[in-house]
Amino acid sequence: MQRYFVKNRASEDRFFIDEEDRHHIVKVMRMELGDQIICVDPDGKQAICRLAEITDERVAADVVQWKEEVSELPISVTIASGLPKGDKLEWIIQKGTELGAHQFIPFTAVRSVVKWDEKKAAKKIDRWQKIAKEAAEQSHRAMLPEVERAMSFKELLAKSNEFDYKLAAYEEESRNGETSVFSAVLKQLKPGESLLLVFGPEGGLSDEEVQQLKLNGFDLCGLGPRILRTETAPLYSLAAISYHFELLR
């Protein structure tokens, strides 16, 4: 059953769907009155709904049954990625959303080849948010991940104060055989707490960035004996988090 994140709830029993989702329902899915969809409100409440009204401006859907599903990780995980080349960030956002990430923060790292263009920022963020939305719908998420604008490394350090736990994946830790920090933090995390995970771009984090992270309360962690690409490491981490909090329990 097709799922839509809906901004507007007319009442306890009716949703209003407009803009792109209305177009998708009418023109792409070619749905008709009486067809059923799943609507998710901004608070993560989900309901099976029946299409009750279709106009040129919007679709109205009436609640048939509220759903009590748990599809979110019990902790809030934010992925901060040093701006990588090509479409790697889009891949991280899409797959990271499927794996349960709560938020994505791109940042400009010393070794980022890609430079952030403020003139194109709005269009970029819109595209990233659309990728997250489509991935969240496909994977039956109850919450829509937020994709932040790209920020400087200094801004990232300031924002890190908002989180309960802070880790930075550092390939030198993997080379040195470090295996305990990531696992230890997962064991300490309690439901409802937040975790910020920082990953460097191609080429990794610079020595200066690593020192600044440590000075700002980050723990450095390895992710096993193999060196992972910048687009692989966040997904490995999210999969490990899901295994720890969802499959083991």
User: What is the reported pLDDT for 10?
Assistant: 65
User: What is the reported pLDDT for 95?
Assistant: 98
The tokens describing 60, both together, are 């109205």
Residue type, 212: Q
Q: Which CATH number fits the domain that encloses residue 35? A: 2.40.240.20
**Same domain, yes or no: 143 and 40:** no
3-class secondary-structure state, position 114: coil
Distance from C-alpha of 127 to C-alpha of 98, rounded to nearest angstrom: 17
User: Residues 6 or more apart from 207 whose CB is under 8 A from it?
Assistant: none
**Same domain, yes or no: 142 and 46:** no
**Which stretches of 18-163 are DSSP H helices?**
19-23, 88-98, 121-138, 153-159
User: What is the reported pLDDT for 176?
Assistant: 65
**Same domain, yes or no: 148 and 208:** yes
pTM beyond 0.75, yes or no: yes
| The last residue of a domain, from among 43, 67, 91 | 67
| N residues, the chain | 249
Q: Which CATH number fits the domain that encloses residue 195? A: 3.40.1280.10
**Same domain, yes or no: 109 and 230:** yes
Distance from C-alpha of 128 to C-alpha of 135, rounded to nearest angstrom: 11
Residue 70's φ and ψ, nearest 5 degrees, are -115, 105
| The last residue of a domain, from among 50, 67, 84 | 67
Q: Please, what is the Cα angle at 63 between 19 and 5, to 5 degrees?
A: 35
Summarize the confidence of residues 203-208 as an average pLDDT.
94
Instruction: Tell me the pLDDT of the chain averaged across its residues.
Output: 93
| The last residue of a domain, from among 67, 89, 119 | 67
Contact of 133 with 153, CB cutoff 8 Å? no
**Same domain, yes or no: 30 and 85:** no
Distance from C-alpha of 52 to C-alpha of 176, rounded to nearest angstrom: 61
**Same domain, yes or no: 104 and 17:** no
Where does the pLDDT of residue 175 fall: very low under 50, low under 70, confident under 90, or very high at 90 and above?
Answer: low
Query: Is the pLDDT assigned to residue 174 strictly greater than 70?
Result: no
Summarize the confidence of residues 21-36 as an average pLDDT.
95
The pLDDT > 70 percentage for the chain reads: 97
Where does the pLDDT of residue 177 fall: very low under 50, low under 70, confident under 90, or very high at 90 and above?
Answer: low
User: What is the reported pLDDT for 115?
Assistant: 81
Structural domains in the chain (count): 2
User: What is the reported pLDDT for 114?
Assistant: 83
**Same domain, yes or no: 137 and 180:** yes
Summarize the confidence of residues 193-220 as an average pLDDT.
96
Query: Is the pLDDT assigned to residue 205 strictly greater than 70?
Result: yes
Summarize the confidence of residues 15-25 as an average pLDDT.
93
**Same domain, yes or no: 12 and 85:** no
Give which of 184, 191, 163 is closest to 249, Cα–Cα: 191
Distance from C-alpha of 14 to C-alpha of 53, rounded to nearest angstrom: 11
206, with CB counted inside 10 A (0-12, 13-18, 19+), is: middle
pLDDT tens profile 58-99: 999 999 999 988 889 999 999 999 999 999 999 999 999 999
Summarize the confidence of residues 211-231 as an average pLDDT.
94
**Same domain, yes or no: 107 and 181:** yes
What domain range includes position 46? 3-67
Summarize the confidence of residues 154-176 as an average pLDDT.
90
